[in-house]
């Protein structure tokens, strides 16, 4: 299979490229990535020389570039490329519209014109909004709260519209919160691990009782592979780890694993429009495609903590660069 993966230098995309080339060494993968602050070629240092892998630096919203690539003929596009951080979308929503919505449409149009066999849009459970109880199914209405989730919801709708209007073979996945190797340390879990390792304060938004359902990134990658190979065109698939936790409990679990004091926990101002709880029903992918997560929060977190312990240069390099300026803008100097 010949795949165009976008955003493959980011957290989930790089894990996916590694997973796919490991499972299917005969596949060809082109990775198109703009290398924003979140894109890092070090994430794929072990893959870069592998036969069948090619990296192209560029913007998914660049019509001519996308056209030139898709002209080569692809069996599938897997679209990870996005601005992915809710807090940044509150500071400035415009790159979220440009990449998450406009970029997705440029890719869809290129896929349509050049007869791409399948378009997999990697989306998020955040498009359903918050629910204090129960679980959203794929039929639940979209009710996004942040500029990030609104841009993802808009892209989902555009993908489904290309399926209905142009019969493009589109599948959309909506996954819960990922964690694991190579996650940029602006997101909760790598932020907690790396701040704790540096004995720095751990910022907890609001009362810390917000709930998320955590999935190990490799379980997400296996689910995406299943949808890519066996998903039904025009269908949405929820993907969940089934490991719901209040943030404060998760943070305490990490501190315990690292033998660091709970005194590092610092309650800070809440995120505007902070969704109280995300929870989705993923019985469709389990029943139709035979997928189930393999990690639980215990062994998944042990694997993740171990990776950050062993890869200090990777995250220290990130935290000493541009990221530090962003962090200080968010939380002030430490």
User: CB of 31 within 8 A of CB of 5?
Assistant: yes
Distance CA 235, CA 165 (A): 15
Interface with ligand DAU by CB under 6 A: which range of 119-127, 155-163, 231-239, 294-302? 119-127
Binding of ligand DAU by 247 (CB under 6 A): yes
Nearest residue to ligand DAU by CB is 124
Q: Does position 173 bind ligand DAU by CB under 6 A?
A: no
Of the two residues 109 and 219, which places its CB atom closer to ligand DAU in the complex? 219
Tokens of 223: 């689910």
Using CB under 6 A as the binding rule, whether residue 238 contacts ligand NAD is answered as no
Beta-carbon contacts of residue 160 (< 8 Å; ≥ 6 apart): 170, 172, 234, 236
By CB under 6 A, tell whether 220 contacts ligand DAU: no
| Closer by beta carbon to ligand NAD, 13 or else 144 | 13
Among 13, 129, 203, 231, binds ligand DAU (CB under 6 A): 203
The residue (of 85 and 284) whose beta carbon lies closer to ligand DAU is 85
Residues 162-181 that bind ligand NAD (CB under 6 A): 175, 177-178
- Asked if 81 interacts with ligand DAU (CB under 6 A), we say no
- Asked whether 125 and 278 are in contact (CB, 8 A), the reply is yes
Contact window for ligand DAU (CB under 6 A) among 62-70, 79-87, 113-121, 161-169: 79-87
- Using CB under 6 A as the binding rule, the residues of this chain from 96 to 155 that contact ligand NAD are 99, 103, 122, 124, 152
Catalytic residue positions, numbered: 125-126, 148
Q: Considering beta carbons, is residue 5 or 70 the nearer one to ligand DAU?
A: 5
User: Under DSSP, is residue 110 helix (H, G, I), strand (E, B) or coil?
Assistant: helix
Buried b (16+ CB within 10 A) or exposed e, 17-50: bbbbbeeeeeebbbbbbbebebbbbebbeebeee
Paired tokens of 303: 């694997």
Choose from ligand NAD, ligand DAU, none: what does 168 bind? Cβ within 5-8 Å by kind: none
Question: Considering CB distances under 5 to 8 angstroms, the limit depending on partner class, which of ligand DAU, ligand NAD, none binds residue 10?
Answer: ligand NAD
Residue 238 binds ligand DAU (CB under 6 A): no
Nearest of 78, 79, 83 to residue 98 by alpha carbon: 83
- In the block, tokens 């997705």 appear at 104
Return the range that interacts with ligand NAD (CB under 6 A); candidates 9-17, 195-203, 251-259, 292-300.
9-17
Q: Find out whether 119 and 158 touch, Cβ atoms under 8 Å.
A: no
Closest CA to 43 of 24, 21, 17, 5: 17
Strand partners, 170: 119
Strand partners, 239: 175
Question: Which is nearer to ligand DAU, 114 or 271 (by Cβ)?
Answer: 271
- Residue with Cβ nearer ligand DAU (30 or 84): 84
State how far the alpha carbon of 107 is from the alpha carbons of 8, 63, 65, 232, in Å.
Answer: 15, 8, 10, 20
Residue 212 near ligand DAU by CB under 6 A? yes
Q: Does 188 bind ligand DAU (CB under 6 A)?
A: yes
């Amino acid at each position: 299979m010949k795949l165009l993966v976008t955003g493959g230098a980011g957290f989930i995309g790089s894990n996916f490229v590694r997973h796919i080339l490991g499972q299917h060494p005969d596949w060809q993968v082109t990775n198109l990535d703009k290398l924003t602050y979140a894109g890092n070629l070090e994430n794929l240092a072990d893959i870069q020389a592998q036969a069948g892998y090619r990296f192209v630096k560029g913007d998914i919203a660049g019509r001519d570039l996308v056209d030139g690539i898709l002209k080569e003929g692809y069996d599938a596009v897997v679209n990870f490329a996005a601005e992915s951080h809710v807090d940044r979308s509150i500071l400035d929503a415009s790159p979220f519209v440009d990449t998450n919505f406009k970029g997705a449409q440029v890719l869809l149009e290129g896929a349509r014109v050049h007869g791409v066999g399948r378009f997999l849009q990697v989306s998020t459970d955040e498009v359903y909004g918050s629910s204090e109880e129960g679980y959203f199914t794929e039929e639940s209405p979209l009710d996004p709260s942040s500029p990030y989730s609104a841009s993802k919801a808009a892209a989902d709708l555009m993908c489904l519209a290309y399926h209905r209007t142009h019969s493009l073979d589109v599948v959309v996945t909506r996954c819960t919160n990922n964690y694991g190797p190579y996650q940029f340390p602006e997101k909760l879990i790598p932020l907690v691990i790396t701040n704790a390792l540096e004995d720095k304060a751990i910022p907890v938004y609001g009362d810390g009782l917000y709930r998320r359902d955590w999935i190990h990134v490799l379980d997400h990658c296996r689910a995406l592979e299943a949808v890519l190979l066996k998903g039904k065109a025009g269908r949405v698939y929820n993907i969940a780890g089934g490991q719901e936790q209040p943030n404060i409990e998760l943070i305490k679990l990490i501190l315990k694993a690292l033998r660091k004091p709970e005194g590092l926990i610092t309650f800070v101002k809440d995120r505007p429009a902070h969704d109280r709880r995300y929870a989705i029903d993923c019985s469709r992918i389990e029943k139709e495609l035979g997928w189930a997560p393999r990690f639980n929060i215990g062994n998944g977190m042990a694997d993740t903590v171990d990776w950050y312990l062993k890869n200090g240069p990777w995250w220290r390099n990130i935290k000493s660069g541009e990221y530090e300026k962003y962090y200080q803008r968010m939380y002030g100097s430490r």
